[in-house]
Structure formats: C-alpha cells, structure tokens
Amino acid sequence: MKSISVPATPCITGKGRSKLAQDEILVGLDIGTTKVCAVIGRYSETGVLEITGVGMYPSRGLRRGVIVNIESTVKSVVQAVEAAELMSGREVEAVTVGISGAHIEGVNSRGVVAVTGKGREIVKEDVDRVVDAAKAIVVPMDRAILHVIPQEFIVDDQAGIKNPVGMMGVRLESEVHIITGSVSSAQNILKSVNRAGFRVTELVLEALAASRAVLSQDEKDLGVLFLDLGGGTTNILSFIDGSPYHTSILSIGADQVTSDLSIMLKTPIESAEKVKREAGACHASAVIEDQFVHIPRVGGRPPDKISRKKILQIIQPRMEEIFGLVRERLEADGQLKRLGGGAVLAGGGALLPGAIELAADVFEMPVRLGTPQGLGGLIEEYSSPVYATAVGLVMSASQKEEGQTLGRARRSGGQGVWSKLKDWFQEFF
C-alpha cells in the first residue's frame, strides 16, 4: 500500500536535537464552538517542552463543533494566534489543528495475518500488515479515517501484547480503534486555517489531544473516562488497558445551559452567560449560602432578583442530562464497569461549580478536574481545563506516533475515500 507524506513537525526528544529543532516552535490550535485557543510551545536547551504563549478569542463561526461561517472562523483564528504570538515573541507559520463535531465516530476492529518472516519471527512488516488488515473496514464516501490506534496484539491466542516485534509465532492478530470524520468538515477547517495564513501540519481529534495533556498513564491503564465539556459539544473518550476503546461526541454542551438560563430567566444570552459564570452551579454542595443576583431583563424592563438556588434548579437538570447520556453510551458498550481509574473532566464546562460532584453522583465513580500537566513555561497561564485541547495539540505535534494521524494514514479501504483524501492534501498541503 502507498502512503501519503504530509509536511509535519518532527518528533523531538530531549537529546540529539539539532539547533534548528531546538529553535522550532510547536503550535496547537483549538477551534471550538465558543472560543479559539492558540498555544505556542518550544523545547528548552534542557529538553523540556515549555509553553511560551497562549491566546484566546471568541468563536463566532461554529455551531456544535462544525464550521458554518468561514469568514468569522478566519477572523477568530487570526486574533487568537496573534495574541499567542505577542506573548511568545515568535511568529507562527504552521499549526496542529483539532477537529470535533457530531460527525466523529469511533469503532473497534480486528485484523489477522500469517507470520511469514524467517523462522516465524514477527517483524515490523508483519505488524504493519496486520494493522492494515484491521483498517480494512467499509468507510462511506463522505468520510475519512482520522486515527488508527492499536489496542493490543494477539500472537497464537496469547493476548494483551503491546509490541509483538521479535516474538515467535504463526498467527498474528491486532485489535485497533479507528476514528473517522466527515471529509467536508475537515476540509472546512483546513480552508479556514489556510485562509488565515497558516499551514496545517496535522489534524488531530480534540478529545484525543486533550486526553494526552491531562491523563496519566496509570489512569489509562486502569481504565478511565475522559469528558471534554465544550460549548457546543461534549467529547467522550474512554481508555481501557492503556488504549482508547470508545469515541463519540454529543451535540450538546455548556451553551445549552446558557440557553436554558436565557429562556427561563427571560434575559439576553449575554446576560445568561454572565449569570452562569458568576452565580451558576449544578450541585447543591456548591451553593452553601442562598444568595441573590440581579438579572437584566429585555425591552428596558427593570432587573429582577433571583436566588442562586433557583439558578441551580435550572442548570442541574441539563447537566444531569448530559452526564446521563454519556453513561448510557458507556453502558451500551459494556465499558462503565471497566473504568477503574474513574473519570476526568476538562473543557470550559468542567469549571462550572459542582460539575465534579454531579458527575461523581451520575457515574458512581471518582471524578477529578483535568488540567494540563507535565510541561514547563507559563504554567499559570495554561493550567486550566480550557486550554487542555490546545496544550494537547502541542504535545501531539511533538510526539507523533506512526500510523495514528490522518497525515500518515495508509489506504483504509474504499478507493473513493482514498481519492478524496489525495485531492484534499493536494489542495491544501
């Protein structure tokens, strides 16, 4: 099978980097429904990945994670990147971009091949062949494979093997997690970023990038649920035995909470968002004392006074619904009981007071707030769940793994899809 070569940021480690590589910057661009985040990172002389610039600008061109207005998206991207450039003092040329939306789907697949190497020793070519076999699924003409992530390998019925190279065997099997997305949605992201004046080096699922920034390896090994509570979508990603096993996205997010407040309190969306941020809560434990807040009215009417408990009664049912839908999907896949590492919440919606406590009640497991960790630089600037995806995209740019990105994807079945991908890269890269 042929593979496509895409200009990409090289994988950089602590030792052996050239001066050019050390001076190179890595940029993560999170284009969300409510905001666009840009994060700039670089390696220090000691080999530590440091965040040197962050930028954020309101997003007006997306709906439920999908671009609906390219011009507005271009403006937001430019403003966010310029803010990050100003902080870091470096000029951005290429970016690693996240992709999300209800069109994202994840499926598990299995492939089987015979070991043909000398003496039946498994070599890298055998691993590539068995992964290719697992990738041979039917993909609709309007979709493309974004990621192919090996979960485990099986050698002659011996399961749980992470790297079979060098082992002896006759039969080699692989189980992989395949993530697909809409070609047109991805093209709109690429087009917007290119029109903003930047080159896209890699397209990464946002939940996968964010999980890299906030989850520990121990949590992944034990089994963990990662939720990215965005404005227009809720990204679901579960890990079992260190690898992703479930990927899906709900077309509902924190913006729906704002909409509920606007309708129930009869106040403009802007005022409802302010109320949510300053007085909102979704669990009784977050409202210790009942306080009152002033709610602006429309049409010049005088403001009204509403208690925080009343606001809680509006927000909590919606958040319970979101967590309940997530639980239903995990139970349908039989994964909820395998998540010994609990759940981790990231994204702007995770900052809502009481979100951790409510999630713990719904999922019946320990829940914590996910913030980027393990990096240096402007720690206070990016240590927030809001920057989890953008920081994770920077980490993805520095730690590419063979065969896990669209840029390095091989033929995935369906000549029509492959032709679309070739046209896509020829147009934008």
Per-residue pLDDT at 417: 40
Note whether 50 and 172 are same-domain residues. Answer: no
Residue 419 burial (CB count, 10 A): 11
Note whether 203 and 114 are same-domain residues. Answer: no
| Enclosing domain of residue 166 | 105-180
326 in a structural domain: no
5 in a structural domain: no
Q: How confident is the model at residue 391 (pLDDT cuts 50, 70, 90)?
A: very high
Note whether 196 and 132 are same-domain residues. Answer: no
pLDDT digits (tens, 9 = 90+) for 271-308: 999 999 989 999 998 887 778 888 887 777 777 888 89
| Higher pLDDT, residue 421 or 322 | 322
| Higher pLDDT, residue 409 or 244 | 244
Nearest 5 degrees, angle CA 313-CA 232-CA 271? Answer: 55
pTM of the entire structure?
0.85
**pLDDT above 90 (res 80):** yes
Note whether 73 and 169 are same-domain residues. Answer: no
148 in a structural domain: yes
Note whether 73 and 118 are same-domain residues. Answer: no
DSSP code string of 258-312:
HHHHHHHHT--HHHHHHHHHHH--SSGGG-SS--EEEE--STTPPPEEEEHHHHH
pLDDT digits (tens, 9 = 90+) for 342-386: 999 999 999 999 999 999 999 999 999 999 988 888 888 888 999
321 in a structural domain: no
Q: How confident is the model at residue 213 (pLDDT cuts 50, 70, 90)?
A: very high
155 in a structural domain: yes
pLDDT digits (tens, 9 = 90+) for 6-62: 333 333 333 333 333 456 889 999 998 889 999 999 988 888 889 999 999 998 888
**pLDDT above 50 (res 171):** yes
Note whether 122 and 162 are same-domain residues. Answer: yes
Find the CATH number of the domain harbouring 142. Answer: 3.30.1490.110
Residue 278 near residue 291 (C-beta atoms within 8 A): no
Per-residue pLDDT at 408: 41
- The structural domain count of the chain equals 2
Find the CATH number of the domain harbouring 92. Answer: 3.30.420.40
| Higher pLDDT, residue 183 or 17 | 183
162 in a structural domain: yes
Looking at 64-78, 359-373, 388-402, 403-417, which range is the least confident one?
403-417
Going through 183-299 in order, the beta strands assigned E by DSSP cover: 199-205, 224-229, 234-240, 243-250, 292-295
Q: How far apart are CA 327 and CA 44, in angstroms?
A: 42
Backbone phi and psi for residue 131, each to the nearest 5 degrees, phi listed first: -70, -40
> Which H helix or E strand runs over 330?
helix 308-332
Q: How far apart are CA 8 and CA 6, in angstroms?
A: 6
Radius of gyration of the chain (CA): 22
340 in a structural domain: no
Per-residue pLDDT at 400: 57
**pLDDT above 90 (res 119):** no
Note whether 196 and 176 are same-domain residues. Answer: no
Location of structure tokens 């399961």: 159
Q: How far apart are CA 131 and CA 3, in angstroms?
A: 14
Sign of the dihedral through C-alpha 220, 222, 228, 233: positive
Work out the mean pLDDT of the chain and round it to a whole number.
85
Note whether 59 and 198 are same-domain residues. Answer: yes
Per-residue pLDDT at 414: 37
74 in a structural domain: yes
Residue 341 DSSP class: T
Burial (CB count within 10 angstroms: exposed 0-12, middle 13-18, buried 19+), residue 203: buried
